[in-house]
Amino acid sequence: MGLFLDNYEDFRRRLRRRLRSDDLADDVMQETYLRVEKLAMPTGHAAHPTGYLFRMALNMAADHHRAQGRLLTGEEVDDLLHSVDTVVDPSTVLASQQDIVALSAALDALPRRQREILLAARVEELPQADIASRHGISVRMVGKELKKALETCATKTGRRAFQRFGPGARETS
């Protein structure tokens, strides 16, 4: 518990930067504090106890995202993919590998055009108008195909579909 409290501000600062939300970072820090207090963790046995605690906070953030039914934005996923942590939790690695296999299978199950539209919108972050032009279809059809692709992937991976359309939606999806 002392190690967590001694590094509280550093963890909070790193979480705010990683999560891009003061409120979410504060919520995660509170939940992590309660979990550390409840578990009375033996962090002295970990090779990198501060890394272990920070990883615990990141896992709490992921749990918080899942509980809210919110998927990460492309920018958040990119940040997490390119971040470097000193401690890699084997269960996290295994879960991530399973997620990648499930997503790959879901993408393979999509019709070619839906897969190309999904990848153009989510990976290349192209505007729908550019995707429509590329495929010779209307912007409305791009939206329909993207919605179908997201729903199929969500079903096959066991996740909720999250769509960035409608009022306030980003133009690049």
The dotted CATH code for 90-157 is: 1.10.10.10
Residues 150/122, Cβ–Cβ less than 8 Å: no
Round to whole Å and give the CA distance between 160 and 154: 5
Could you tell me which residues come within 8 angstroms of residue 113 by beta carbon, excluding any fewer than 6 positions away?
135, 145
Round to whole Å and give the CA distance between 38 and 19: 24
For the chain, the structural domain boundaries read: 2-82, 90-157
pLDDT per residue of the chain (173 residues) written in tens, 0 to 9: 577 677 778 878 887 887 777 888 888 888 877 777 776 555 555 566 677 777 777 777 777 666 665 556 667 667 766 766 556 667 777 878 888 888 889 899 999 999 999 999 988 889 999 999 999 999 999 999 999 998 888 888 887 765 555 443 444 44
Round to whole Å and give the CA distance between 15 and 129: 35
